[in-house]
């Protein structure tokens, strides 16, 4: 085979490969944002869940993690992600930008609560009003259980949330709010019951340094949403995979690691009480 023939042959093969690549470009990744809740620092678990989703969707999946709820909300509004697991407070605020896709089953219901936690040595506090003039840790300014609920309780009792405590600070996650109380950096905090309960299973040495002094009513569990530009077909594909996790062993094993019992389609009505509390503060 002559040198010229080899060069021509190689050129033809390269052109064929390029044409094939252009005709069959790699599938774009599905971008799935996560708020800084309990899963935020569970990298091995997220990697396993990503592989599970990719296998069933037959498409790459990219989990996008941010340190603040506002950052995740921006990703949705700027259409930089297709799906996100967000808090119920942002869901109400983004009602014109997203669609409810699924809600997790926590225990036996698609709900969770706000826990008012205090240091374990504090055996007297029974509600947030007992912490007047103290130091309080908020999870995030867009958190229902970690910000809206305690402020609403203070307002409901006729006090001003902005001046009620001597000092407040944001930890930017429920896990860090628990750490702050456990370490004695705050005299109290309001946290997501799911986060506290999940942490209690894997790090009881931390949660045992806190005490649940009060629990709120039930609220709709933080929803998984799709931004409005997601096609009906893609919406349905992702929803079907999530809702079907309870039907197969691998899915059930993942749910167990997530400390959940499954996903349902859910209803926006689950979040009516959160909307009512927001209205009390002139939102959204």
Q: Where are the domains of the chain?
A: 30-110+222-272, 114-216
Give the model's confidence band at 242: pLDDT under 50 very low, under 70 low, under 90 confident, else very high: very high
At 32 the pLDDT is: 95
Q: Report the alpha-carbon distance of residue 82 to residue 106 in Å, rounded.
A: 24
Are domains 30-110+222-272 and 114-216 of this chain identical in fold?
A: yes
CA dist 87 and 192 (Å) reads 10
Q: Mean per-residue pLDDT for 168-181?
A: 96
- The pLDDT of residue 92 is above 60: yes
Q: For the domain bounded by 114-216, which CATH number is listed? A: 3.40.190.10
Looking at residue 71, its pLDDT comes to 94
Residue-wise pLDDT tens digits, 105-153:
999 999 999 999 999 999 999 999 999 999 999 999 999 999 999 999 9
Non-local CB neighbours of 220 within 8 Å, separated by 6+ positions: 88, 103, 110, 111, 266, 270, 271, 274
235-262: average pLDDT = 95
Residue 20 has pLDDT above 50, yes or no: no
- Asked if pLDDT for residue 2 goes beyond 70, the answer is no
Share of the chain above pLDDT 90, in %: 81
Spatial strand order of the sheet with 223-227 comes to: 61-65, 30-34, 83-85, 223-227, 98-104, 263-264
Burial (Cβ within 10 Å: 0-12, 13-18, ≥19) of residue 246 = middle
CATH topology of domain 30-110+222-272: D-Maltodextrin-Binding Protein; domain 2 (3.40.190)
In this prediction, residue 254 carries a pLDDT of: 94
pLDDT band at 11 (very low <50, low <70, confident <90, very high): low
Mean pLDDT of 73-93: 95
Q: How confident is the model at residue 67 (pLDDT cuts 50, 70, 90)?
A: confident
Sequence-separated (6 or more) residues with CB below 8 Å from residue 74? 80
């Amino acid at each position: 085979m002559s040198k010229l023939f080899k060069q021509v042959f190689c050129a033809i093969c390269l052109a064929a490969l390029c044409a094939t690549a252009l005709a069959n470009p790699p599938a774009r990744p599905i971008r799935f944002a996560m708020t800084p809740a309990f899963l935020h620092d569970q990298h091995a678990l997220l990697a396993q869940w990503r592989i599970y989703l990719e296998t069933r969707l037959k498409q790459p999946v990219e989990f996008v993690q941010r340190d603040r709820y506002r950052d995740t909300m921006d990703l949705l509004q700027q259409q930089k992600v297709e799906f996100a697991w967000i808090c119920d407070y942002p869901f109400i605020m983004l009602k014109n930008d997203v669609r409810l896709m699924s809600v997790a089953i926590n225990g036996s219901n698609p709900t969770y609560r706000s826990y008012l936690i205090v240091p374990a040595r504090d055996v007297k506090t029974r509600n947030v009003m007992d912490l007047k003039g103290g130091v309080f840790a908020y999870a995030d300014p867009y958190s229902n259980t970690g910000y809206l609920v305690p402020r609403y309780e203070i307002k409901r009792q006729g006090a001003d949330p902005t001046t009620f405590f001597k000092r407040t600070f944001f930890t930017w996650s429920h896990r860090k709010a628990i750490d702050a109380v456990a370490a004695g950096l705050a005299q109290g905090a309001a946290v997501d019951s799911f986060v506290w309960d999940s942490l209690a299973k894997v790090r009881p040495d931390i949660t045992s340094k806190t005490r649940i002094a009060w629990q709120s009513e039930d609220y709709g569990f933080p929803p998984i949403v799709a931004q409005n530009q997601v096609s009906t077909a893609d919406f349905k594909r992702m929803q079907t995979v999530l809702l079907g996790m309870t039907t197969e062993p691998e899915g059930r094993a993942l749910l167990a690691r997530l400390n959940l019992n499954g996903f349902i389609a859910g209803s926006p009505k689950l979040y009516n009480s959160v909307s009512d509390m927001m209205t009390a503060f002139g939102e959204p």
